[in-house]
Amino acid sequence: MEILIFILVCYGATNIIVNGSIFSGVRDWVESKSSFLFDLLSCIMCTGFWVGVIFSFSVDLNFFFAGCLASGSSWIIQTLIDK
């Protein structure tokens, strides 16, 4: 159950960062500074990985495993929602 909650929290945080209006100012600022960083910030898999790594410290998971789990899960959930 802890893994499922971890996946949902990581997806929610990733979706807010990538698509949320609350971060639109941050995304615009990053886009004006670096197109490479903007591409990473607007990619749900890239952002999902780093969200997973950061959240891995709040639960007892290996940071690389947590990053990959969050990245893949975010991509799958977003793909299912977009269809």
Of 7, 8, 43, the closest CA to residue 27 belongs to 43
Q: State the total domains in the chain.
A: 1
Q: What are 5-24's pLDDT values in tens digits?
A: 999 999 999 999 999 999 99
* 8 A C-beta contact, residue 7 and residue 69: yes
Residue by residue, what is the 3-state secondary structure of the chain? CHHHHHHHHHHHHHHHHHHCHHHHHHHHHHHHHCHHHHHHHHCHHHHHHHHHHHHCCCCCCCHHHHHHHHHHHHHHHHHHHHC
Mean of pLDDT over the chain = 91
- Residue 36: the pLDDT is 92
Domain span at 51: 2-82
Give yes or no for residue 1 having a pLDDT over 90. Answer: no
Share above pLDDT 70 across residues of the chain, in percent, rounded to a whole number: 100
- Residue 28: the pLDDT is 92
